[in-house]
Structure 1
Amino acid sequence: MTVEIQRIGPEAASELYAVVRAAFEGRPPLDPPADALAETVESLAGALGKGPGGLLATIDGAVVGGMVLDPVTTAHGELIALRRFGVVPSARHHGVAHLLIAAAVEAARELHVAGLTVLARQELEATIGFWNSSGFSEVGRHAPYVEMVRPLPAAADARDADGMRELARDLAKVLRAGDLLVLSGELGAGKTTFTQGLGEGLGVRGDITSPTFVIARVHPSLVGGPALVHVDAYRLGGLDELDDLDLDTSLDEAVTVVEWGAGMAEALADERLHVQIARSVGDPGAGDGDDDARHVEFLPVGTRWLGVALPGVVRPG
């Protein structure tokens, strides 16, 4: 099975129309009915003739999904709205929707906008859950719709430990009090090395080492900026133990970094930056040392990160 995504214009309106009908007719009846069911080949051709057009997904040559890409100006900046997003029922659960979103991210990067936005129906909790799991956050409700946005992700490579610190110093330039960073990566991936670079960039006091046995350390600013709160959740048993640290009292005044926080730290703030660190695959010099190359992905959640210049380049997906 081969899934392919292609950019389309008005010439593909009939193919997209077939997708829209199959996708939206297969959903539960809504009141009022879905606007997508009022589309015609002609109306879709008009939408595809504006701006960047749209996307079409095929599996082994058969059309199975698509959307219209619509540049919009919102209260959150210039975004790409995903309109008439759909996958035919027979092609669901094959990753088509996620590949379409990845292609939309790439289109947003090319257009130099801040991110993506989508409208989901309030009644469709599973649909809202899908968009949440795809990095979109709710920013408003205008019955019968939920407005959701997703900032653009980014990725970068660090050749060694010094490169990791430099990457973190670059990130520190765009951080402010109240920011929450959730660091993930295997043992020895370089999470503490990355945090050392953040401390250097923020100008905080004290040597930053793994806080595994202390659980959390506070590094005050030496330059009048926010403190750095460094947390290691590796030995915590769950969210209750994280709550016991009473981090809420410092979240608003500090930059908080939680190592091993995935699955727990999300409850601390709706807006956060996930930093995923891995050893670079295919690097001929890769081994297990601290100076091996690393691949770092920045996955922002929430409107705080719309338009923020994260280190590296925007990556698809």
Structure 2
Amino acid sequence: MPVIRADSAAAATAPGDPGTERSLWLAGPEDAGAIVEVVHAAFAARPPVDPPATAGRETAESIRALLERGSGVTAWMGDRLAGVLLVVPGEGARSSVGTLQRVSVHPDFQGHGIAAEMVAAAHRLASEMGLTSVELLAREEFPALTRWWQRHGYRVVDHRDHGVILARTLPVTVEAATPESMQQLGERLAGVLRPGDLVVAEGPLGAGKTTLTQGLGRGLQVADPIISPTFVLSRVHPPLGQRPGLVHVDAYRLGSPDELDDLDLPSSGPGYVTLVEWGRGRAEQLAPHRLEVDVAREPGSDVRTVQVTAVGERWDGVDLRAVLTGEPR
């Protein structure tokens, strides 16, 4: 099965390869037996609930049936299946909404960030499947689990007899073939930003985060050239017109969210947009509503793939796909 790249996954080699430490793969019907074992082990390790979870009744046949309807992500540690997450599209009027099912990490591998990697990969997978949002059921007996999903951009949208439905929108993916088109992308994004907004930009060195920010600054019409603030951590660009100013932060050298808090960014003023490069895992506490921007660049290519995810109610009703593609809204 094709490998799915995740933000912190190990080398993209096949499960069982001696050089593999951790890899994420699309789930296939041939994995059904191993998937059942992981699901049963993961749910059996949880405290008992009433009524019991239906995961204990899963079989290889039922897993294959779910995979026929949708897809899934498997996480491997060497040649052992460590985790699984299934993505099943809805039907009829809900065909654009996917359900995350049987989210499981084997007890032997819990506490290593595998669940977060699978969720990030599942978001990309679901977006490629044409889905616009995903949801799941979290049992009321596990409030810490609900909080974990909320930290990953989910919010409670409904209540059920024994839990809550959590949902989030999926990333919008666009390509930028040149640095100029990357700046144009940032300029279009600036058109929907308002004071107090937070943008968290992620991507490897040279991917184009600062180039995107330059376009965003041009769209906001801020003072001073936009350059990487790596050696001063943050730069404040006052507004030249009626649009918000820009606080541009590089969190690459920061080790924790606390160090970012020490910069006292809100003191830059309420009339500013804040963009944090290398902000994942460091900047989310700055605002409950934000845009998460992931920039990837294939080796040997100038084409950048940009994924933008809206987190929080602030972005309800904003058609990011139309904004990023320049299509009429």
TM-score tier by shorter-chain length is: 0.5 to 0.7
User: Quick one: distance in 1 between partners of 2:236 and 2:223?
Assistant: 15
Aligned to 2:189: 171
- Residue 35 of structure 1 pairs with residue 54 of structure 2: yes
User: Quick one: distance in 1 between partners of 2:247 and 2:129?
Assistant: 37
CA distance 1:13–1:281, change in 2 (3 Å): closer
* Deviations, residues 260-302 of structure 1 (Å, cap 9, x unaligned): 6937753453221134669x68559xxxxxxxx6967545242
SS at match of 2:70: coil
User: Quick one: distance in 1 between partners of 2:209 and 2:124?
Assistant: 28
| Aligned positions of 1:219-238 closer than 5 A | 219-221=240-242, 227-233=243-249, 238=261
Gaps of 5+ in 2: 1-17, 252-258
| Aligned positions of 1:144-159 closer than 5 A | 144-152=163-171, 154=173, 156=175, 159=178
* Deviations, residues 16-64 of structure 1 (Å, cap 9, x unaligned): 3222211100112234432323445554454344x22444444444443
Gaps of 5+ in 1: 222-226, 285-292, 313-317
Larger Rg: 1
- Residue 274 of structure 1 pairs with residue 274 of structure 2: no
- Residue 137 of structure 1 pairs with residue 154 of structure 2: yes
CA distance 1:27–1:170, change in 2 (3 Å): same
Give the letter aligned to residue 272 of structure 1.
Answer: R
CA distance 1:119–1:311, change in 2 (3 Å): same
Aligned to 1:241: 264
* Deviations, residues 150-196 of structure 1 (Å, cap 9, x unaligned): 52264756644x344223234346x2546432356899987665344
Moved more, 118-127 or 184-193: 184-193
Alpha-carbon deviation of 1:15? 3.5
* Correspondence for 1:308 among 320, 324, 328: 320
User: Quick one: distance in 1 between partners of 2:185 and 2:304?
Assistant: 11
* Correspondence for 1:218 among 239, 242, 253: 239
Give the letter aligned to residue 229 of structure 1.
Answer: G
User: Quick one: distance in 2 between partners of 1:111 and 1:186?
Assistant: 25
Give the % identical residues: 28
| Aligned positions of 1:203-214 closer than 5 A | 204-205=220-221, 207-210=223-226
* Correspondence for 1:15 among 14, 34, 44: 34
SS at match of 1:166: helix
Larger relative contact order (CA 8 Å, sep ≥ 6): 1
Alpha-carbon deviation of 1:86? 0.9
User: Quick one: distance in 2 between partners of 1:53 and 1:260?
Assistant: 32
CA distance 1:41–1:169, change in 2 (3 Å): same
Q: What value does the CA root-mean-square deviation take over the aligned residues?
A: 4.5
* Deviations, residues 64-107 of structure 1 (Å, cap 9, x unaligned): 33233211379998222110111221233555434533542343
**Is residue 36–residue 59 contact of structure 2 (8 Å, CA) maintained in 1?**
yes
Give the letter aligned to residue 139 of structure 1.
Answer: V
| Number of residue pairs the alignment of both structures matches | 285
Moved more, 32-41 or 259-268: 259-268
* Correspondence for 1:5 among 9, 22, 25: 25
User: Quick one: distance in 2 between partners of 1:103 and 1:237?
Assistant: 27
CA distance 1:261–1:281, change in 2 (3 Å): closer
Moved more, 150-159 or 13-22: 150-159
TM-score, scaled to structure 1: 0.66
Alpha-carbon deviation of 1:147? 1.0
User: Quick one: distance in 2 between partners of 1:22 and 1:186?
Assistant: 36
CA distance 1:147–1:76, change in 2 (3 Å): farther
- Residue 120 of structure 1 pairs with residue 138 of structure 2: yes
TM-score, scaled to structure 2: 0.64
